Amino acid sequence: MESFENTAIDIAAEAASIAHRGQFRKDGKTPYIVHPKRVAMCVANFGGDHIGIIAAWMHDVMEDCEEGEAIVHDTLQKTDLPQEERDEIFAIVSALTKNDAIKGKSKKLADTLKRINRAPCQAILIKLCDRMDNLVDARDQEQEFLSKYLPRTDQLIDALSDGAMRHGYTKALERLKELRADYSVKNHRENGH
């Protein structure tokens, strides 16, 4: 990567760290910023470029932070990236942001997945990596949470599989499917089968 692209990633990482300051993961202990950092590393690991990595760092800012849209916009203005790349990152982050006007988690997810499939292609990779990281974190969650989260993971896999394969994110898709399958095996064992 070019040095100005690495600088842009650093700017996004710093902005996300500031935006998420004081927020924690579901365990109430882990600083929230750990999640965007792991998602960004996952995106890089599965072939994402600077656009995907920056969007991964910023992917929850609009949804979870006050004035999130302005933060993303201002952060992108601080980078030396061409306007078309800034617009692409903004479109990806927007697509990954849930529409709170839609009621019900399943309907909200269906809307988000539809928008991800229409967004620039790295939105798919980021969502796959986001779900991978959330599944790893969900290992300690109660069965009640998992009984809802795992079917929504299946919904996500179904909705994004074609796009993931079309855009070359097959390895990321397969890894997510493996993580999802681990829960089925674990559940099978816990029920004495």
**Rounded CA gap, 5 and 80, in Å?**
8
Domain ranges for the chain, please list them: 3-190
Amino acid at residue number 158? D
Q: pLDDT-derived band of residue 160, with 50, 70 and 90 as boundaries?
A: very high
**Cβ atoms of 164 and 121 closer than 8 Å:** no
What percentage of residues in the chain have a pLDDT greater than 70? 95
Helix pair 50-58, 83-96: axis angle to 10 deg: 40
Q: 81-97, pLDDT tens digit by residue? A: 999 999 999 999 999 99
For the cut 50, the answer to whether the pLDDT of residue 49 exceeds it is yes
The count of other CB atoms within 10 Å of the CB of residue 129 is: 27
Q: Candidates 1.10.3210.10, 3.40.640.10, 1.10.3720.10, 3.30.460.10; correct CATH number of 3-190? A: 1.10.3210.10
**Rounded CA gap, 100 and 179, in Å?**
28
- Mean per-residue pLDDT of the chain: 93
Q: pLDDT-derived band of residue 187, with 50, 70 and 90 as boundaries?
A: low
Given phi > 0 = left and psi -120 to 50 = alpha, else beta, which region is 143?
alpha
24: helix, strand or coil: strand
What is the per-residue pLDDT for 193?
A: 45
Q: What is the pTM of this model?
A: 0.94
Q: 95-110, pLDDT tens digit by residue? A: 999 999 999 988 999 9
What is the per-residue pLDDT for 30?
A: 94
**Rounded CA gap, 28 and 10, in Å?**
26
113-142: average pLDDT: 95
